[in-house]
């Protein structure tokens, strides 16, 4: 590595996005956030959707900020996003409409409709993907069932990471890790499952052949360079475009490390293990585990769990009611002072997907379970956090039962690392060591894949070695597992 390499990662989540500059030099990777922005969707004409034009404008502003601060030269640009949502592109290259939000109500009832054409067990055997009502296959099926004219007008379907890569480069692609979340991909062949698509009557012509993480799409479009001051010719690279794929690639472990699991903690919690091949069995189906694509040919065997979305929505409700900003640190401090173990709610309840009033829903769920409803903000947040930790406990045990092993360490990565109360609860509930960090795992994984594409790093193990040297980690040991054991009695 004879010179510094400079890569820009756009990490887009369901609530916010960042433009993060990564500098790789002397086997160390340093990060600087050069731009932060909101990504929240909007509801227009009764449809919950993503404001693509505004997010695109923020991407351009992120490039401009990077140029102002550090000059016009970059070795690559990559975009990672959430999964399953998509945009439809016409033959002339135009985006036909804002992509719909995965929490839009159009997805209701689509799983049951799909199972009338292909039984649930056959869908899982074909794809190995967890059943979530917003998976791309059900979103696409809802458009077909409604007779949407968009399907006839479209030439191609681009998942969100691919869509923003297209807007930056003008090149359409379908990156494998995000495609795997659609529940239309065969995890063994890593291509579209034509039999499933045919049985559901979906338009196969819209789907591009998947490409691997690290594929170079092409140079940034000239008008973007003229607008931002970026040097012409900077390549746009498809990282693990699914944000969890990028995050898991950045878990700071070595190949010979003891058996570990990872927990990507943010709006969603994704808890699982990294495998070399898919694991599809009656037990994994019963526990609703998923086999999603990873970087370096890996499989992310995991379960999607409602995450800090519960706290985010509580915060949003309280801010609306009070008309004042409220930070997460304040809510966590209030939760820490609240009494412990007063109520645990069922995080498999679909009502948590998009409630109008999250605090009221949590209170109602507590009463339904036979608990006294928490009244204060701190008590409500503590209920949410303890429910999450308890769900992590049961999910980790199910993971070990399915794989026939014993996890010895849990790596927590992502923004949830900053919630130290939840990290300690997780160590106590699971009864194992928790290693927390890095916070910016997704950006690190995004940049690491770009560096692999630029031949600045030689594979996944080399990337993780650099990340391990470049980040600080915090360890949590179990202190009170007995209290969590008592909750199961």
Task: Give me the active site residues, please.
Answer: 243
Q: Are 354 and 103 in contact (CB under 8 A)?
A: yes
- What is the Cα 466 distance to its own chain's centre? 23
In terms of Cα–Cα distance, which of 281, 268, 273, 280 is closest to 298? Answer: 273
Cα–Cα distances in angstroms (integers) from residue 467 to residues 248, 438, 460, in the given order? 12, 9, 11
Positive or negative, the CA dihedral 114, 119, 120, 124 is negative
How far is 376 from 381, CA to CA, in rounded Å?
A: 9
Strands 474-476 and 210-211, bridge-based pairing:
unpaired
Contacts of 229 (CB under 8 A, 6+ apart): 64, 67, 68, 72
Q: Are 27 and 47 in contact (CB under 8 A)?
A: no
Positive or negative, the CA dihedral 118, 122, 125, 129 is positive
Q: Are 412 and 426 in contact (CB under 8 A)?
A: yes
Longest pairwise C-alpha distance within the chain: 65
């Amino acid at each position: 590595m004879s010179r510094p390499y400079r890569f820009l990662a756009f990490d887009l989540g369901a609530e916010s996005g960042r433009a993060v500059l990564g500098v790789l030099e002397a086997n160390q990777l340093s990060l600087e956030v050069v731009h932060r922005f909101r990504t929240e969707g909007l509801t227009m004409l009764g449809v919950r959707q993503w404001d693509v034009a505004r997010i695109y404008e923020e991407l351009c502003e992120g490039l401009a900020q990077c140029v102002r601060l550090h000059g016009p030269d970059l070795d690559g640009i990559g975009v990672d996003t959430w999964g399953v949502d998509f945009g439809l592109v016409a033959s002339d290259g135009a985006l036909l409409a804002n992509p719909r939000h995965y929490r839009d109500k159009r997805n209701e009832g689509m799983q049951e409709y799909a199972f009338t054409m292909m039984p649930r067990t056959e869908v899982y055997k074909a794809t190995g993907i967890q059943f979530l009502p917003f998976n791309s296959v059900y979103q696409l099926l809802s458009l077909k069932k409604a007779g949407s004219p968009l399907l006839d007008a479209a030439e191609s379907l681009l998942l969100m990471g691919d869509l923003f890569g297209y807007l930056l480069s003008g090149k359409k692609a379908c990156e494998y890790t995000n495609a795997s979340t659609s529940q239309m991909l065969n995890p063994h062949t890593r291509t579209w499952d034509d039999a499933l698509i045919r049985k559901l009557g979906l338009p196969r012509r819209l789907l591009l052949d998947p490409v691997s993480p690290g594929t170079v799409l092409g140079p940034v479009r000239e008008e973007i360079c003229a607008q931002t001051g970026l040097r012409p010719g900077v390549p746009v690279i498809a990282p693990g475009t699914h944000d969890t794929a990028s995050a898991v690639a950045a878990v700071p472990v070595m190949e010979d490390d003891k058996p570990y699991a990872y927990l990507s903690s943010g709006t969603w919690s994704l808890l699982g293990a990294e495998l070399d091949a898919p694991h599809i069995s009656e037990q994994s189906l019963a526990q609703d585990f998923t086999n999603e694509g990873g970087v370096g040919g890996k499989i992310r065997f995991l379960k999607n769990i409602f995450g800090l979305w519960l706290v985010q929505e509580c915060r949003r409700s309280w801010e609306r009611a009070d008309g004042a900003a409220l930070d997460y640190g304040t809510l966590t401090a209030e939760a820490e002072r609240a009494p412990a173990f007063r109520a645990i709610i069922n995080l498999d309840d679909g009502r948590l997907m998009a409630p109008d009033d999250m605090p009221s829903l949590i209170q109602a769920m507590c009463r339904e379970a036979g608990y006294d409803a928490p009244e204060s903000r701190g008590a409500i947040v503590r209920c949410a956090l303890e429910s999450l930790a308890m769900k992590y406990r049961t999910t980790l045990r199910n993971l070990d039962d399915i794989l026939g092993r014993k996890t010895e360490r849990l790596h927590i990565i992502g923004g949830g690392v900053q919630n130290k109360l939840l990290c300690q609860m997780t160590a106590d509930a699971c009864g194992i060591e928790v290693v927390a960090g890095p916070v910016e795992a997704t950006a690190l994984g995004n940049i690491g894949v770009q560096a692999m594409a630029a031949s600045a790093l030689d594979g996944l193990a080399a990337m993780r070695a650099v990340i391990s040297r470049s980040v600080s980690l915090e360890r949590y040991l179990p202190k009170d597992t007995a209290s969590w054991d008592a909750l199961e009695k």
